[in-house]
Structure 1
Amino acid sequence: MSVVRSPAEDSNSKPKRARLEIRLSLSFSDKDKIGTIQPHDDALVVTLRIGGYDVKIVMLNQGSCVEVMYPDLHRELNLKPEDLITYDSPLVSFDRKLVIPKGQIRLLVQASSEVVEVDFIVVDAYSPYKAIVARPWLHTLGAVFSTMHQKVKYLFRDRIKELVGNQSMAR
């Protein structure tokens, strides 16, 4: 009679270890709503570092495919018409009016420790916001956001970073 051993029982073989892979998940829970006024329908408005300056009242808009800069920010950054490159596609404003852009400019936008180059379309139109950052910025950053939770989350190295909205600025 012979005994058959499995490789795991063989004294000369080492037991195999399962590879443990930890995947961070970008998700929101009720805990993320702490500190927000609920219920609400506020836009997600944050402060970002744009062109080397801290800029308040920046709206995040997942429904838009272009980043927009309004006249107040254009002036605050001391940008001149010669800093702009031509951009001749008209935009449609929130009130469904056609807006002819003044031009386009590429600036660095920093959220916490992550810096992304963004092409802003500069318009001469009224807005309560200084700028709108949209899907291109979100996708480059790999970010997800929730207006309900008033937060943006993204991975930076092996950590989840958060950018918290400011409801009082949104109102």
Structure 2
Amino acid sequence: MEKHRRTGNDDIVFSEQDVKGIKQPHDDTLVIMLTIEGFNTRRVLVDNGSLADIMYVMAFWQMKLDPKRLKPFGSSLVSFSRDCVYPKGIISLQITAGTNPTQVTRMVDFLIVDCPSSYNVILGQPTLNFLKAITSTYCLKVKFLTPHGIGEIIGGQLLARECYQAVLTSRKNHTWRRRKI
């Protein structure tokens, strides 16, 4: 592992410069692109509240990853709505965040989940903490330390809105059954 070299200013700050190009006011989610196993993976939701890094099964199949690489995962996930989801397994994949020279590469354990989502991946606390990443939903940006300075990933406001619209459309087209209490 390459040792972190001080660049003189390792403080991660967000300024008005970071907001340029963002239509304000907004309440958009932080959706980024990340390189996973060499694939430029779009629709990656950055979720500071997620206790796991998650990849949805559709993205898993689109990347043509070998199912033999999946290891069993014996626990369920509980969603915000208290639904239980049982992962298909866990897989270690290489991610690259940022752009050269201010980028980092590391292995991430993703839980593979088979349920509908407008996202391909949820990047949660395990990876955000490892990267010492700081997120700004206002700026739609992630910043993190690298051996060559501060790296950043700019979120896609249009992409975030597309994902949100996809969720609304799927809910509208879904027939909901009421549960008896």
User: TM-score scaled by structure 2?
Assistant: 0.79
Q: Distance in 2 between matches of 1:83 and 1:158?
A: 33
What is the CA-CA distance between 1:24 and the residue it aligns to?
Answer: 2.1
Q: Is the 8 A contact 1:116 1:141 kept in 2?
A: no
What is the CA-CA distance between 1:140 and the residue it aligns to?
Answer: 1.4
Unaligned runs of 5+ residues in structure 1 are: 1-20
Task: Indicate whether 1:137 and 2:127 are aligned.
Answer: yes
Task: Indicate whether 1:117 and 2:103 are aligned.
Answer: no
Q: Residues 6-155 of structure 1 correspond to what in structure 2 (within 5 A)?
A: 22-112=8-98, 113-155=103-145
Secondary structure of the residue that 1:82 maps to in structure 2? helix
Q: Tell me the C-alpha RMSD between the 2 structures.
A: 1.5
Percent identical across equivalent pairs? 39
Q: Is the 8 A contact 1:91 1:99 kept in 2?
A: yes
Runs of 4+ in 1 over 4 A off after TM superposition: none
What is the CA-CA distance between 1:139 and the residue it aligns to?
Answer: 1.4
Q: Is the 8 A contact 1:70 1:122 kept in 2?
A: yes
Q: Distance in 1 between matches of 2:13 and 2:94?
A: 27
Q: 2:155 aligns with which of 141, 165, 168?
A: 165
What is the CA-CA distance between 1:32 and the residue it aligns to?
Answer: 1.1
Please identify, of 39-48 and 23-32, the stretch whose mean Cα deviation from structure 2 is larger. 23-32
Q: Distance in 2 between matches of 1:106 and 1:32?
A: 32
Going from structure 1 to structure 2, the CA distance change for 1:81 and 1:157 (only over 3 Å counts) comes to closer
Q: Distance in 2 between matches of 1:124 and 1:94?
A: 16
Q: Deviations over 1:19-71 (max 9, x none)?
A: xx934211112221111111111110001000111100001111111000102
Aligned length, in residue pairs? 151
Which has the larger share of helix? 2
Q: Distance in 1 between matches of 2:140 and 2:36?
A: 20
Going from structure 1 to structure 2, the CA distance change for 1:61 and 1:68 (only over 3 Å counts) comes to same
Query: Larger Cα Rg: Structure 1 or Structure 2?
Result: 1
Unaligned runs of 5+ residues in structure 2 are: 1-6, 162-181
What is the CA-CA distance between 1:158 and the residue it aligns to?
Answer: 4.1
